[in-house]
Amino acid sequence: MAESVHLNRRGVLFVLSSPSGAGKTTISRMMLEADKDIALSISATTRPPRPGEIDGVHYHFVDTENFKKMAADGEFLEWAHVFGHRYGTPRAPVEDLLAAGKDVLFDIDWQGAQQLYQEAGPDVVRVFVLPPTMEELERRLRSRNTDSDEVIAARMERAANEISHWDGYDYVLINDNVEGCFDEVRAILRAERLKRRRQIGLIGFARDLIRAVPDADKKL
């Protein structure tokens, strides 16, 4: 039996965005549970922790002055204001994950996705998840029982703004069934991992195959 061939590859910076309530956090959790080769980028934020959130696990919680200093020192791959707080992606942990051969999952909004693409270009894959209807999105937000009517109204207004940027993504999915949407997201990741430009050593491997046939390379 022939030995299996394994080529190393460049990591994927996999962005998953959606309006609040459309499913990106649920799908992100499912991906992390199902795939050992992808790790979550943990954002820094100036907002206070919510009940049950752990510093360094859910977010890196920092005060505004420290966040501003980190931004000024170039420590973020991207950052943005969201609902009156700052959120950003620390650069060093992402680079460490890539060096360890991991893909990195980003749960960020369209502003962060755009900045990350400008920073890392071809390594970035952007997926946007849409709700089936705005009525369903509002129902999901209300079912959390965590926000006032005013906050939900603000989230719906922001959702409409975020959806207007759908065409800045490589893939756009409709989450009318979370299991089906999850399967589509995983299919995208599998295909992106196999792209030729991410296969390290592929050129040399192909040349060695050709050279294994006497004089074949002279006829090409």
Instruction: Collect all residues with Cβ–Cβ distance below 8 Å to 206 and sequence separation of at least 6.
Output: none
One DSSP character per residue, 87-139 reads EEEEHHHHHHHHHTT-EEEEE--HHHHHHHHHHHGGGEEEEEEE-S-HHHHHH
What is each CA distance from 110 to 65, 78, 142, 147, 191, in whole angstroms? 24, 11, 23, 23, 22
Q: How many CB atoms lie within 10 A of CB 142?
A: 13
Return per-residue pLDDT of the chain as tens, 220 residues: 667 777 888 899 999 999 988 999 999 999 999 999 999 999 999 999 988 999 998 899 999 999 999 999 999 999 988 878 999 999 999 988 887 878 999 988 898 999 999 988 889 999 999 999 999 999 999 998 878 889 999 999 999 999 999 999 999 999 999 999 999 999 999 999 999 988 888 999 999 999 999 876 665 5
Tell me the fold of 13-201: Rossmann fold (3.40.50)
| Residue 150: both structure tokens together | 């005013």
Q: What is the rounded distance in angstroms from the CA atom of residue 15 to the CA atom of residue 192?
A: 12
